[in-house]
Amino acid sequence: MAEPPSAMTRSSHEYLVERSTTREVPPSQRAEYWTELVSGFHCRMRFEFAQRGNFDGTTVRQRTRNYQLVGWRSDEDTIGRTAHGIRTDPDDDYRLIFPVRGTMALRHAGVETGLRPGRAGLAPMSVPLQIWQGGGTEAFVLTAPRCEFDRRLPDGAPRVTALDVSSGLGRLVGDLAVGLFEERDALDRRQFDAVSDRLVELVCLMLLGEDRPGNETLADLERTLRRYAREHAGDRELNPHTMARAVGWSLRQIQLALKQSGITPTALIREERLLLARDRLRGLPHERESITDIALQLGFSSTGAFSTAFRERFGMRPRDIR
């Protein structure tokens, strides 16, 4: 995770991106600063530092009223949620922890669960637990409301558990978390919440253990992509990256969703543009526009490229329709 500049904040319609680092304060005060910073992000915590002096840590925080995602890198420490902290500062929400470098561990009820890249953790803040991380660990933690789990899981929200995010649906979950962080400055409140909703939905599908947990979700995404491509085919700036960002998913996610139908995002956009071109060639209100004008308006590099693609799709030349 790239080190962020210190003391920078971006806000847009109740969506905030905040960057912080212990290097803002003198070395002797950095452990205390980190304690206050992280507790402020979450709830009352107990901290233990392997070395308090000159503690190094950086954070990038994204948040709305509904969700929060924090990416961080720091020296070794242990964060504890104690019975006293739970009584004095209740927090029923869940934390999804995704290590991307280094090792971590969740300790709860005498059981230690190791976390590493490819193995995430899910934990409520309403139970006593400890989160240990080795020096130089980089990770993301998503705060998600308990109600989002309660309404999706018939037995209610789970206790502390580990999730395999190295393959299958789990890998999609991990990729989605990384993409949500990497695109932080390109998102707005609606998009951030929409992606977070889907991430929680996919985690719940993992917890339910369905045989083919991602099919319905991917089918819904495919329908959304087709509708979006059709509605925005006339936008010359439309491409797979802008389409993915607009629907709140990563490029990898939309590629997987369309793969079920044997089509790529680029091919989908071209298909919708060719259909729109055919409509424009047929008459009003584009009868005064030349074939070249229509081709360039819809993002084709030349009339020749447009004619070739048009003939391959419809079996006739653009001028045959005009």
Q: What is the CATH number of the domain that holds 276?
A: 1.10.10.60
Shared-domain flag, residues 39 and 61: yes
Going from the C-alpha of 214 to that of each of 97, 202, 253, the distances in angstroms are 21, 7, 11
pLDDT at position 44 is 93
The pTM assigned to this predicted structure is: 0.63
The SS3 assignment for 302 reads: coil
CA angle 225, 226, 228 (to 5 degrees): 65
Q: What is the pLDDT of residue 157?
A: 62
Kindly state whether residues 32 and 179 are assigned to the same domain.
yes
Buried b vs exposed e over 96-106: b needs ≥16 C-beta within 10 Å? bbbbbebbbbb
User: Do 21 and 57 form a contact (C-beta atoms < 8 A)?
Assistant: yes
For the record, the structure tokens of 124 come out as 């409520």
Domain end position, chosen among 161, 183, 211:
211
Distance CA 116, CA 308 (A): 50
- The answer to whether residues 170 and 305 belong to one domain is no
3-state helix, strand, coil in the chain (%, to 5): 45, 25, 30
> Can you give the pLDDT at residue 23?
95
Q: State which residues form the domain around 251.
A: 214-322
d(CA 278, CA 266): 18
* Domain's final residue, options 166, 194, 211: 211
Q: What pLDDT, on a 0 to 100 scale, did the predictor assign at position 213?
A: 34
Q: What per-residue confidence (pLDDT) applies to 191?
A: 94
Q: What's the confidence (pLDDT) of residue 208?
A: 78
Has residue 303 been placed in a domain?
yes
Structure tokens at 311: 């003939």
Instruction: Return the structure tokens found at 298.
Output: 């819809």
- Listed in sequence order, the DSSP H helices in the chain are 30-41, 83-88, 146-150, 168-182, 189-208, 215-231, 240-247, 251-259, 265-281, 291-297, 303-314, 318-321
**Total count of domains within the chain:** 2
- Residues of the chain predicted below pLDDT 50: 2-12, 210-214, 216
Establish if 2 belongs to a structural domain: no
Q: Is 196 helix (H, G, I), strand (E, B) or coil?
A: helix
Q: Half-sphere exposure (CA, 13 Å, Cβ side) for 256?
A: 17
